[in-house]
Amino acid sequence: MGRRIGIIAGSGEFPFLVLEEARKQGYSPVVAGIHGEAEDSLRGKAGIFEWIDVGGLEHLLSFFRDNDVKEAVFAGKIDPRSIYRKEKFDETSLGVLARLQERSPEAVIKALIDFMAEEGVQVLDPSVFIASFYCEPGLLTETKLSPAVEEDVAFGWRIAKNIADLDVGQTVIVKNKTVVAVEGIEGTDEAIKRGGRLAGEGTIVVKVSRTSQDPRMDLPAVGLKTVESLIQSRSRALCFEAQKIPFFQKKEAVSLADGNKISIVAKKA
């Protein structure tokens, strides 16, 4: 049995990938699946698994203590709107929230990480488990960017970087050098769809990391579901930050994008 690693699993493919890579690296994963976020099939993949409510911090810590977990990673998306569902929060979670002067998703997760460290569980950077999913700068699709799209990408990049550093969101949707939607608490996919509803077909999506991004929390990512949202909103292109934002299910996502004449480009800051 290898060294124990806790995986706090949210939605998407991310937890499965971390679980697989952790085992390859000799770890023995202990998985806490967040109710309403993690996929049911994850339970069958994990040797040690328990469902945890999004506000069940004491339950989470007890589960990790019982299984000798002293290191953990967050993997997968947790809907930030859950901070408003206090009926599911235990006293420990409410106590952590009470310490905060602001309750942005980043501030809440940072407070949880700090509290877990106080309780003997260090939250690690998950990048060591997903290094192969980071992309070098360049065009990833056969579908090229038109000059007009390139101009929108450059325009959107500058706006996205500023908004990300204000901790508003990390994605902007633009069209004809106009910002039509900014990612809020609803997340990237819903912001993409909202941009399509507001501006119609031909939007451009730009997703970046914060200048001081802490990869332990709310690590931005793109993947197959992102492309599906682009198709639904009839977007023309996706630009994301190279070497900072992982691209999951890349082969399938790129193929789907090309089939729908959507460009995908990784851009370096």
Provide the pLDDT for residue 214: 83
pLDDT in tens, 91-135: 998 898 888 887 777 788 888 999 999 999 999 999 999 999 999
Residues 103 and 198 grouped into a single domain: no
Residues 121 and 50 grouped into a single domain: yes
CATH number, domain containing residue 257: 3.40.140.80
Domain boundary among 102, 129, 156: 129
pLDDT in tens, 210-246: 988 888 877 889 999 999 999 999 999 999 999 999 9
Band (pLDDT 50/70/90 cuts) for residue 83 is: low
Residues 88 and 160 grouped into a single domain: no
Q: Is the dihedral of CA 24, 11, 123, 186 positive or negative?
A: positive
Provide the pLDDT for residue 85: 67
Residues 223 and 256 grouped into a single domain: yes
The tally of domains found in the chain comes to 2
Model-level pTM? 0.86
pLDDT in tens, 12-39: 899 999 999 999 999 999 999 999 999 9
The tokens describing 181, both together, are 């939607």
142 has a pLDDT exceeding 80? yes
Question: Which residues are registered as beta bridge partners of 5?
Answer: 29
Residues 104 and 227 grouped into a single domain: no
Pairing of strands 171-175, 178-182: antiparallel
Residues 85 and 140 grouped into a single domain: no
**More confidently predicted of 61 and 166:** 61
Q: What is the DSSP letter of 41?
A: T
Domain boundary among 129, 147, 169: 129
Domain that holds residue 121: 4-129
**Hey, is 143 helix, strand or coil?**
coil
CATH number, domain containing residue 12: 3.40.50.20
The CA–CA distances, whole Å, from 141 to 9, 223, 225, 247 equal 30, 13, 16, 13
